[in-house]
Amino acid sequence: MKVMIKAFSIFVFLVMVASCATTPRVLPEKYNLDNDLEAVDQISTFEDITWKKVDKHSIILRVNWKDYYLLVLRRPIFSMSFIHTLGIDSANHSITSGYDRIIVNDSTGTWYYVIDKIYKLRDWEQAEEIKERLRKN
């Protein structure tokens, strides 16, 4: 009987671990900007990229000195204040949401964050507005 209870306990534990590992993460509602911004699946042919942090879940990219994009990450970057370098893990000259990743190097190592959504921004002013809006919420 004790063996059955132990076996059942281990089985329940394994089911709980497996269900937690397969449960998709849900982004906070403040990152659902589909009604306010133009969602794009991909950013193509970029050369010069600069970035600015918005918060732990998002960054703004400036591409080719004139185009601005908000990248919303699937999970937060907990070491955002201590980033040494930030890069993009992409197989070609494009960034695709749901597939490509942001690479973060900090004092603890290298971390990868999948890009969940990409939004096209009109200009720098809109980038600043969105940054302030996301920081307030």
pLDDT, tens digit (0-9, with 9 covering 90-100), for 56-88: 899 999 988 889 999 999 998 877 666 667 777
Q: Which two tokens stand for residue 76?
A: 């937060």
| Residue 81, domain member (yes or no) | yes
Q: How many helices (H) and strands (E) does the chain have?
A: 2, 9
| Residue 34, domain member (yes or no) | no
| Residue 40, domain member (yes or no) | no
**pTM for the structure as a whole:** 0.76
DSSP three-state, residue 97: coil
Pick from 2-6, 74-78, 108-112, 124-128 the range whose average pLDDT is largest.
124-128
* Phi, psi dihedral angles at 41 (to 5 degrees): -85, -25
Q: Which two tokens stand for residue 131?
A: 């940054």
Q: Which two tokens stand for residue 70?
A: 């908000």
| Residue 10, domain member (yes or no) | no
CA 65 to chain centre: 22
| Residue 61, domain member (yes or no) | yes
Structural domains of the chain, count: 1
Give the amino acid at 77. I
- Structural domain containing residue 107: 45-137
